[in-house]
Amino acid sequence: MITLDELRAISIFEPLPPEPLEFLVGAVEDIRLLPGEYFAHEGDERAFFVVIEGRAEITKMINGDERVIGVRTPGMFFGEVPMTLSTSFPASGRATEATRIMKLDATVFYGLAAMAPAVPAHVATLARSYLDALQAHASEKPVAEAHVIGPRLDAGVRDLATFLTRNHVPFDRVVVEAPAEHPAGAEPAHPVLELRDGSRLVAPVMREVAHAVGLAVEPTETDYDVVILGGGPAGLTAAVNAAAEGLRPLVVESLAPGGQAGTSTRIENYTGFPYGISGDDLASRALTQAQRLGAEIVVTRTVESIDPGSHRVVLDGGDALGAQVVIVATGVEWRTLALPAVDRYLGNGLYYGAARSDAALAQGQDVCIVGAGNSAGQAAIFFSRHARSVTMLVRGESLGASMSRYLIDQIAANPGIQVETRAQIVDLHGDEGLESLDVLDARTGESARRALSVVFVMIGADAVTGWLPSEVARDSHGFVLTGAEAAAAPQWTAERRPFALETSAPGVFAIGDVRSGSVKRVAAGVGEGGMAIAYAHQYLALAH
């Protein structure tokens, strides 16, 4: 614990009388850190820190990079700005060597302030001196890694922008007019990805884009302790836990970390975020955490096969990876509208799923959301901030059967959102792109033409697991059986019972939305990601 003598050795406390010093001795935290350990993170609740021994540096995320913006040595402070302005931390603090730090939480700091007003006055003076530097860092414009060039409603432009956004690659968007005609057989002219060095890629595939902007697409090794298929909340959590516990994990992701949750415009019911968090923000934090702990993540890669006996994983292109444990966390894919003209308008007015990067598509438009789940509700609320109007088409009698109450209440209170129940799209119309649609009212049996040219479809999702070997049992809908259900499947032949998240192939686990009977919630996927690594350790102990 901190002693009176140690407090008196700090200049700000040295002149104080015994009473406030004795108060501090009984109230402060004495924190000892190893090199690289953080004592505060950007966005944390306010507190006041004093370095007792060692050395710390202050870091801030600027344009996606963690930059050192200050150093603290014995007797120096951190937390002046948040304590003075009652804000969260604008930067992070970490030890650069073995370091000892004293922490005063807000209650202790203001208790001290009541006994010794000179302390907060001095802290406020220091805070003012730091504010100019913080404002300069905060005002730095993100450096665009690339420019995305193409028409506003071009399907390829949307896919490229979504890929870059979800992989946290800063870019500028340049809107150009669509060509009046596109000759049959001609190569597409858009989208164009212009890189910082001036080079251009025209209508590139995502693997080319990933290479161009420096994302990892090739595993660095051929053998791993754990290969995790899918980088959604469940997969990323498994990677975090595996890396933290000394295993060597690889995450194989087909598009971008975050999975379907990464497209959620706002998640309000995830514990620890009282004001909600967007899916891509949550994914970004999980990705940073996994990589900081040593997990390896490759994108734009898919799995062609798994050998259930050896756990050999073969990626597209033929790359073969050895693994002691395989975790299937591939999630689900959006269901499609069963309409004859749907392919004609896909990406040109009609879109499956929605994300914050789609705000430009909705700006000033009359938007239609098809679906009644939480994802549809989140999208409706988000797009109501950009669109002229938002119409939700719901096949059921109400939103209550499939949507959380908090979303239902927010939608009901939003004058920009109209909910139509017992309604569904029966036809699509438009020459160059989607211009209108026919909506059937199931109550009357009549349909009406509606001038809605931007439609986001979120009508549920299915597991895509046909690529899995037959030794991995699935239910009638393609979701992977685990635990007791896997034990009852004829594919399970081991003498022991499978672990709770283990499939009918020993050493192959399934977590998240792809698992039969899963809850289909972000928090549940995160929990299963942690559980899977605990079971993986038990499996490895049996195998050795």
- For residue 455, the tally of other CB atoms under 10 A from its CB is 21
CA distances from 309 to 323, 324, 327, 411, 537 (A): 11, 10, 14, 50, 18
At residue 441, the pLDDT reads 94
Per CATH, domain 4-138 is 3.20.20.70: no
* DSSP codes of every residue in 74-131: TT-EE-HHHHHHT---SSEEEESSSEEEEEEEHHHHHHHHHH-THHHHHHHHHHHHHH
pLDDT level of residue 310 (50, 70, 90 thresholds): very high
- The dotted CATH code for 342-460 is 3.50.50.60
3-state helix, strand, coil in the chain (%, to 5): 30, 25, 45
Q: What is the DSSP letter of 261?
A: G
At residue 370, the pLDDT reads 96
Write the pLDDT tens digit of every residue in 444-479.
999 999 999 999 999 988 999 999 999 999 999 999
Q: What is the mean pLDDT of residues 110-118?
A: 89
CA distances from 367 to 50, 191, 264, 337 (A): 53, 24, 17, 17
C-alpha–C-alpha distance, residues 165 and 159, integer Å: 10
C-alpha–C-alpha distance, residues 484 and 471, integer Å: 16
Find which of 21-25, 432-436, 495-499 is predicted with most confidence, using mean pLDDT: 495-499
At residue 136, the pLDDT reads 56
Looking at 207-216, 238-247, 334-343, which range is the least confident one? 334-343
Asked if 471 and 308 touch (Cβ cutoff 8 Å), the reply is: yes
Angle, helices 155-166/279-293, rounded to nearest 10 degrees: 50
Of the two residues 288 and 65, the one the predictor is more confident about is 288
Asked if 515 and 532 touch (Cβ cutoff 8 Å), the reply is: no
Closest CA to 173 of 188, 187, 186, 156: 156
Write the pLDDT tens digit of every residue in 373-385.
998 999 999 999 9
Of the two residues 210 and 180, the one the predictor is more confident about is 210
At residue 283, the pLDDT reads 84
Lateral strand order in the sheet of 436-441:
423-429, 436-441, 446-450
- For residue 229, the tally of other CB atoms under 10 A from its CB is 27
* pLDDT greater than 80 at residue 299: yes
At residue 185, the pLDDT reads 57
Q: What's the half-sphere exposure (Cβ side, CA atoms, 13 Å) at 316?
A: 13
pLDDT level of residue 397 (50, 70, 90 thresholds): very high
SS (H, E, C) 162-210: HHHHHCCCCEEEEECCCCCCCCCCCCCCCCEEEECCCCEEECCCHHHHH
pLDDT level of residue 142 (50, 70, 90 thresholds): low
Asked if 191 and 148 touch (Cβ cutoff 8 Å), the reply is: yes
Quick one: tokens of 397?
A: 């009698």
* pLDDT greater than 90 at residue 131: no
Domain residues of the chain, as ranges? 4-138, 146-212, 223-332+463-543, 342-460
pLDDT mean across residues, the chain: 89
Write the pLDDT tens digit of every residue in 312-366.
999 998 999 999 999 999 999 988 998 988 888 988 899 998 888 888 889 899 9
Write the pLDDT tens digit of every residue in 402-424.
899 989 999 999 999 999 999 99
Asked if 1 and 100 touch (Cβ cutoff 8 Å), the reply is: no
Segments in 352-459 forming alpha helices (H):
359-362, 374-383, 405-412
At residue 187, the pLDDT reads 66
* pLDDT greater than 90 at residue 210: yes
Q: What is the mean pLDDT of residues 26-42?
A: 90
Asked if 427 and 443 touch (Cβ cutoff 8 Å), the reply is: no
* pLDDT greater than 80 at residue 291: yes
At residue 285, the pLDDT reads 85
Phi and psi at residue 380, to the nearest 5°? -60, -45
Task: Identify the sign of the CA torsion 386, 391, 395, 397.
Answer: positive
Write the pLDDT tens digit of every residue in 77-87.
898 888 888 88
At residue 481, the pLDDT reads 98
Does the fold of domain 342-460 match that of domain 223-332+463-543?
yes
pLDDT level of residue 182 (50, 70, 90 thresholds): low
At residue 288, the pLDDT reads 87
Find which of 115-124, 135-144, 217-226, 270-279 is predicted with most confidence, using mean pLDDT: 217-226
Write the pLDDT tens digit of every residue in 256-278.
988 877 777 778 778 887 878 87
Per CATH, domain 146-212 is 3.40.30.10: yes
Position 18, amino acid? P
Asked if 361 and 383 touch (Cβ cutoff 8 Å), the reply is: no
Quick one: tokens of 153?
A: 């409603």
pLDDT level of residue 282 (50, 70, 90 thresholds): confident
Q: What is the mean pLDDT of residues 95-107?
A: 93
C-alpha–C-alpha distance, residues 229 and 226, integer Å: 10
3-class SS of residue 23: helix
* pLDDT greater than 90 at residue 212: yes
Asked if 144 and 171 touch (Cβ cutoff 8 Å), the reply is: yes
Looking only at the bridges linking them, the beta strands covering 389-394 and 417-421 are: parallel
Per CATH, domain 223-332+463-543 is 3.40.50.1970: no
Asked if 209 and 310 touch (Cβ cutoff 8 Å), the reply is: no
At residue 229, the pLDDT reads 97
- % of the chain surpassing 90 pLDDT: 59
